[in-house]
């Protein structure tokens, strides 16, 4: 009887989840959130946006075998390019902004 009770407890605990730990991480933000973060002067979001863009830029370059000496190193320019894109395209997201900026920097229009 003790073994059956222990087995029941173990099996029950396997099917129990706590939804408070559930999340959907995709790494980029909707343009609505980007604009709000800018309006709120959210420096953490600024850092995340720029870091995400740099990773994106490096990843696309690596996949395409493209080596550019024009690596965008100016944090402010990257950030405000994303803000500008989002203000002009509020229904898009920061991933779309990153692709647009990548195209402008490299003149390498992939995925059009």
pLDDT value of position 24? 44
> Closest by alpha carbon to 38, among 96, 90, 99, 95?
90
27-106: CATH class:
mainly alpha
Separation CA 13–CA 27 (nearest Å): 31
pLDDT value of position 60? 84
CB atoms within 10 A of CB 34: 26
The ranges of the chain with pLDDT < 50 are 18-25, 112
- What 3-state class would DSSP assign to 42? coil
pLDDT value of position 102? 87
pLDDT digit string, tens, across residues 40-63: 999 889 999 999 899 888 888 888
């Amino acid at each position: 009887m003790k073994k059956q009770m222990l087995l029941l407890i173990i099996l029950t605990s396997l099917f129990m989840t706590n939804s408070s730990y559930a999340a959907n991480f995709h790494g980029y933000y909707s343009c609505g959130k980007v604009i709000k973060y800018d309006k709120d002067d959210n420096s953490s979001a600024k850092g995340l946006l720029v870091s995400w863009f740099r990773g994106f830029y490096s990843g696309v370059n690596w996949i395409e075998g493209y080596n550019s000496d024009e690596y965008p190193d100016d944090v402010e320019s990257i950030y405000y390019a994303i803000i500008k894109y989002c203000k002009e395209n509020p229904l898009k997201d920061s991933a779309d902004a990153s692709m647009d900026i990548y195209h402008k920097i490299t003149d390498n229009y992939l995925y059009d």
